Amino acid sequence: MMCQSEARRGPELRAAKWLHFPQLALRRRLGQLSCMSRPALKLRSWPLTVLYYLLPFGALRPLSRVGWRPVSRVALYKSVPTRLLSRAWGRLNQVELPHWLRRPVYSLYIWTFGVNMKEAAVEDLHHYRNLSEFFRRKLKPQARPVCGLHSVISPSDGRILNFGQVKNCEVEQVKGVTYSLESFLGPRTCTEDLPFPPATSCDSFKNQLVTREGNELYHCVIYLAPGDYHCFHSPTDWTVSHRRHFPGSLMSVNPGMARWIKELFCHNERVVLTGDWKHGFFSLTAVGATNVGSIRIYFDRDLHTNSPRHSKGSYNDFSFVTHTNREGVPMRKGEHLGEFNLGSTIVLIFEAPKDFNFQLKTGQKIRFGEALGSL
């Protein structure tokens, strides 16, 4: 009887060994991969990872049973050379188009993104020599009347992603996804020119931005789509005393991506302008994005964004307060402040009394000059 049972089990054991052989071989192969250098391992695991996410029906899912793990979608996206692609896009935008090609190219863009050319100062499409000039087109003076009754206006066209009070040193980029206030604005330095003194904790960071008793810290995030007006303006009467430039990544900042990647705005390249308005601290941050070849501040000629080389996590400071100019750069509400090469994001963080009220709804479309809030 024993011999018969062993005879029956013989083919089963051979089949089991045959089934386990590929797994053992794959384990050995993965063991070899684990001994490789980190850059080489990333390079070798990319093709499998891409196939893992692209192939239907979980074709590569059995690989996870033998110890292989795909690179996360977020890590995979972060590894895309978006800065290089954005610089290439910026150079492409500078190429002068033949006169006969301008109308079909710009018309396709207008149709795709819903651009309203009736608001443009120059409606003739042949006037724009390249894509960059078309993106940075000016508007007719009457196209965006500036609201004079409210203390803070929208600095640009766009969509409201989030707004409200800053709580626990965390700011919402979209509902439910936050980023650190200190990581976004950068650490404070013991420098007389900076508008905020150094602090030792999260609470003191927020509290020392609030310079007047009874005030609160507020924020507002505005997303500029590719079809929106690409220039941004001063949202109130204030004085700009300091600029901090973070040469970071250039990932997409559309609302879907903002829900996907935590602290997206802290990873991306950005230009933080800080100063004071009549109620205390005020800041405007222009956040770069994929294919935004440059961020330009009109009064800051020393600013150069999307440079080929930068150190991760680095930043550079520049003060507009000098021995000859003790105040900084005064800006009037609605005055031209800067421009993007393509759509991106504006983040306002400012101090105001407790009775400051936003007149907004999350997700609403807004245009430059319309009211954000008032006392």
The conformational region for residue 168 under phi > 0 = left, psi -120 to 50 = alpha, else beta, is left
Query: Residue 315: which of 251, 253, 223, 242 has the closest Cα?
Result: 242
Give, in order, the Cα–Cα distances in Å from 42 to each of 52, 55, 73: 15, 20, 14
Identity (one letter) of the amino acid at 345? Answer: T
Helical segments of the chain, H only:
2-34, 38-54, 73-78, 82-93, 99-113, 131-135, 181-185, 202-209, 255-260, 264-267
Q: Which two tokens stand for residue 321?
A: 């307060």
Active-site residue, from 156, 241, 249, 344: 344
Helical segments of 120-201, H only:
131-135, 181-185
Note if 157 is an active site residue. yes
Backbone phi, then psi, for 138, in 5-degree steps? -90, 160
Note if 20 is an active site residue. no
Query: Residue 169: which of 289, 252, 263, 251 has the closest Cα?
Result: 263
Q: Which two tokens stand for residue 211?
A: 């310079």
Active-site residue, from 230, 233, 267, 279: 233
Between CA 153 and CA 167 the distance in angstroms is 23
Note if 151 is an active site residue. no
3-state secondary structure of 198: coil
Active-site residue, from 157, 228, 276, 300: 157
Give, in order, the Cα–Cα distances in Å from 69 to each of 31, 52, 72, 245: 13, 10, 9, 36
Kindly tell me the burial class for residue 19, based on how many C-beta atoms sit within 10 Å of its own C-beta (0-12, 13-18, 19 or more).
exposed
Kindly tell me the burial class for residue 281, based on how many C-beta atoms sit within 10 Å of its own C-beta (0-12, 13-18, 19 or more).
buried
Which residues partner with 276 through β-bridges?
239, 281
Backbone phi, then psi, for 55, in 5-degree steps? -70, 140
Q: Which residues are catalytic?
A: 157, 233, 344
